[in-house]
Amino acid sequence: MRRITRGAAALAIAAAALTAVGTGSAHANDRPVYGCPGGAVCIYPEGADIYTSTPTDIFYSYGAHNLSDQFGDHYVLNNQYGSGNATAQLCNGYNGVDCVTAIELNEFGVFNLTPINSVVPNRP
- State how beta strands 108-112 and 118-121 pair: unpaired
Each residue of 84-118: pLDDT tens digit?
Answer: 789 999 999 999 999 999 999 999 999 999 999 99
Helix H or strand E segment including 121 = strand 118-121
Q: Give the residue with greater pLDDT, 31 vs 7.
A: 31
- Helices (H) and strands (E) counted in the chain, each on its own, are 1, 8
Distance CA 14, CA 70 (A): 52
Is the pLDDT at 61 greater than 90, yes or no? yes
In this prediction, residue 29 has a pLDDT band, given cuts at 50, 70 and 90, of low
Evaluate whether 84 touches 104 at the Cβ level (below 8 Å).
Answer: yes
Q: What is the pTM of this model?
A: 0.75
Query: Which range is least confidently modeled, 19-23, 25-29, 36-40, 50-54?
Result: 19-23
Angle at 56 between CA 48 and CA 49, to 5 degrees: 15
